[in-house]
Structure 1
């Protein structure tokens, strides 16, 4: 994000151009809202309030909307229609741009929403100062507009898993789920039999260092509760990161090269099972009987749906949670 880029409702969220007409981009695209019946369902914002998915729109110019973003949505929607086997064939840069646009779009939207609807003078949910944290993310998002080559590693880590798909009348689970973290900018989503977790700006570190760990789940079919456990592990690991993303960019009118500076040295603080248990309990909070006292056994034992006591994979049945 350009330091001088206006973060206002009369400028395009992506390119920053002033809007000559009132055009909007759905943060969660319309094809996704219709496919998973999300139009009238709600999502929780940073301040705890609920807003319908359909109302999550941000200002976008015609060029960005109808050319750059439109083609990206076509590619993603086709891959989702084809299921897991199709999705894993997709260029991961496209998944990154699509997911990162949703995350950035949510933060941008919160710039225009009052933190307290009863007190308009209390400020907005997201402040312009806080948005400065996402300047590098906005810079990376320009890859939607300009063909971009990353060297020598990707600026992100992405993990894609096959997940159980459910019928309309199935138990607790559904075919769509979304979870993210403002602090670590880690993002997770379930769409039918596709589950993916994305570290937005980790310079590819988790994909590299966690390769052996995560690869053992790539040929399994996971239960959604297992996807959330993996998300909790990745999110907490990112919380422990001691490095900041660094980039060097060369750009002309038609393309750009982004060199991702690979971090070195001591990359993470020490893992704490107690703090991890708190993070896991939070992400599992939608499930009954999975509070902190149910999953954490001091000093170091944390319940797992992913692995058995001997470390082997725990294959879960499709149905394990009844609706509340």
Structure 2
């Protein structure tokens, strides 16, 4: 059976620090996304200094969001209490990180009196590449495995491997010679989808002539929300029912995701995000100005007189 298999990279020591590639690449993903956003902001003549301040707020808020957005999915878990809510060693959610970062950024935009829509569009490619880079860490430590699969992109454990601690139960099965997979490699699926989304955003940013302010950002929300919703079906059965071994034995507790009704917590978050993004895509398409150099200037971009004079502002709506 064709499958991917490689030894996971466990937590390693760097001087006095214990580092995991999960956290390292999450941080690098934020940096990579921030660089893309700032370059686009500078290219179009917007406020780069203010953008840096917004990104600082977004960074702190994304960490808080990544932790606290996992809480609803675990409230009903046996023994889950108040202390677990504030346990920094608990689960973290990439969707929660995005939501927290966006909310924190919007608060800072308001404080600085900066119009958010041009900046959010400038952030769309950065948000996509953040997932691409961030998922490298998840793939390296072998995290977010799902149900059994015959997919050639599935991951096959081997005796002696040390995947992410959330998969200790799966590794014990493999070490005992009971079952080693392969399992759906959902972190890899998410990275591939985010890479495609990055390419689509770059293409639309240059070819979508009728695009209005806020629509590129809204498209990112719709795509990534739906992507997470559908990918997590590869984890739903294992999270809800456990792993069914070839002899019919069911092993529970092998997937840490909380299940709320018919979906996982990540699926609910992705579905709600997609619905919100679709509503914004429609609303901004009816209300906002068409993206242009002249309308960038209307939103506060500092352009040369020749660039700003290429065309008159195309619409009066804001």
Q: TM-score, normalised by structure 1?
A: 0.28
Q: Where is the strand percentage greater, Structure 1 or Structure 2? A: 1
Q: Compare relative contact order (CA 8 Å, sep 6+) and give the higher one, 1 or 2.
A: 2
More helix by share: 2
TM-score (norm 2): 0.29
